[in-house]
Every structure is written in structure tokens, then in C-alpha cells.
Amino acid sequence: MDTTRGQETQAHGMDPPPRDRRFEPQVPSRAKRSVTYGVLLGFGALIAGLVIARGLVGYSVSEDGGTFVQDFSSHLMFTRGVLLEGLPGEVGASAYSVETHVRFMSDWTQGATEAVLPFGYSPTMLWLLLPLALVSLPAAYLIWSLLGATAAGSIVLNDRVNWIPGLAFFLTPVAITAIALGQTAVLGTAGVFFLATRTLTDPINQNRLGRGVVLAGILWALGAKPPLAVTGATAMLALGAVGPVVQAVGFTLLGAAVLTPWLGSGWLSDYWALMGTYDRVGA
């Protein structure tokens, strides 16, 4: 047996890096997939249907003058206003300014409320919501809810998660509230979970173009909430998955640059100010 070639290959580092098989994904059974997605999609559709039927998509004004504004509806209408209707309007205005938020809410609710729900997301969120801004508000909310249910299923079916408790978690009052309000919690959790499991499985090979683009896309989407993206990117860099992080940063910068004409020239400073006083902004 010629061992010289094998020794030479090892000496030059040609052997593939070892894989940590503790995190290797296992394919769940068909029955398990059917039950999981059936329960979660059915549950998500039920909640969304009840919210739509009760007129809670958008905003509503109670008899005592109180106003309810659904998170998802406000953010989607803000996206529609900025990208499709030119929300800032005035020269030098910024989509992230307090004045723009006040005018948007006043126009949307026809003056029914003075309360303003800030759009506290980065410009990446505008890209994510743009396809949904092209359909009706109830339809967009239903699609968003089903996307969240599908993402939840991907977590529950991971072999690192205990199936029954995992499924039960997404049926709790906390999850119900997040779905009813159309919040990003479920999708954000699924994104972080995906990055963690894929990076831990084989961090070095995640730098390969095919796999790296997928991870970069997820990390870019998480950039809608910068703290999530920074946390994920830091962990990925520590594990050696540098390529996807660099790509995600590039996607983010390019996306923000393209949207600047719609956001207004002063959007960055206004966004920074909004983030620093998110819970204390008054107008």
C-alpha cells in the first residue's frame, strides 16, 4: 500500500475539516411532519381568521374613544406609504422622523388617534414587507401568520428539540398574542435557531458559496432588528463562518443605499435617534 500519497495529503491539509455530528439534522418522519405542520398551520390560520373576523386587522376605535393599533398593520401600512406612496413628501424629510410618523398615523387613521406606533425596524424590514404591501391588509396578515407557523414548525421538527414541549410552546398565550398582533418574534426566533444549528453543524463549510448565501440571506433578514443580527453575526464570526457575515453586511448596505431616495437623505440620523428613544418619543 502506498502511504506516501496519504501522508502528503494530510501534510498539506487536504483532508476535509471534521464535522461535529452532534448537530447533524435528522429527517423527521412523515407522520411527525404532518402532525406538526397541520397543528401549527391550522392554529395560525384560526388565530388570524378570528383577528380578521373581529375587525382587529388595522386599527379600531372603541366606544370610549380608545384606539387599538395592530403592530403588523401599522408596519405594513408604513411600508406601503414609504415605498409606494412617497410618505416623506417634503424636501429633506425623513421617513424615520417623528413628524413623518405623526403624519402617517394621522392620514391612515383619519385622525382617529394621536398615538403613534414607531417603525423601529431598519430599512431591511421595508424590503421584507414590500411583497405583502402589494396585497390587501387582511391577506397580507394571513400570509404573515402562516409564514410564522411554518417557521415554528421548522424549530419543532429539529431533532435537537423535544417535539411535544416544542409544539406546545407555540400554542401558549405568549405565542397567541405574538401571532394576533403580527409581531416578528416567531420568525425572528426561527431565523436565529436556523443560523445556530447550521453554523454549529459545519462552521467552516458554511463559507462555501451555496451554503453561505442561504446563511447570509437569513442573517440579512434578521438585520431588520439589528440587535438580533449583531448577536448572530458575532457568534458566526467566533465559529469561523466569516463569509456569510460579510455577504450579509454587503446586502444590508446595498439595500439601504437603494432605498435612500424613498427614505429621505436624513434617514440614518433620524433612525439612530429613534432607536435611542424608542419607548420615550413624544410628539
Locate 161 and state its grid cell: 428539540
Q: Model-level pTM?
A: 0.82
Angle between helix axes 173-181 and 185-201 (nearest 10 degrees) is 110
Contact by Cβ (8 Å): 123, 256:
yes
- Contacts of 34-42 with CB under 8 Å at 24 or more apart are 36/153, 36/156, 36/157, 36/163, 36/167, 37/149, 37/150, 37/153, 39/167, 39/171, 40/149, 40/150, 40/152, 40/153, 40/156, 40/167, 40/170, 41/146, 41/149, 41/150, 41/153
Q: What's the pLDDT score for residue 135? A: 95
Give, for 59, the enclosing helix (H) or strand (E). Answer: strand 59-61
Query: In the numeric block, which cell numbers belong to residue 267?
Result: 434617514
pLDDT in 10s for each residue of the chain, 283 residues = 444 444 444 444 455 555 545 545 556 678 888 898 999 999 999 999 999 998 888 887 777 767 788 999 999 999 998 988 876 555 557 899 888 888 888 888 887 777 788 898 999 999 999 999 999 999 999 999 999 999 999 999 887 788 888 888 888 999 999 999 999 999 999 999 999 888 877 655 555 656 688 899 999 999 999 999 999 999 989 888 888 999 999 999 999 999 999 998 889 999 988 887 665 544 4
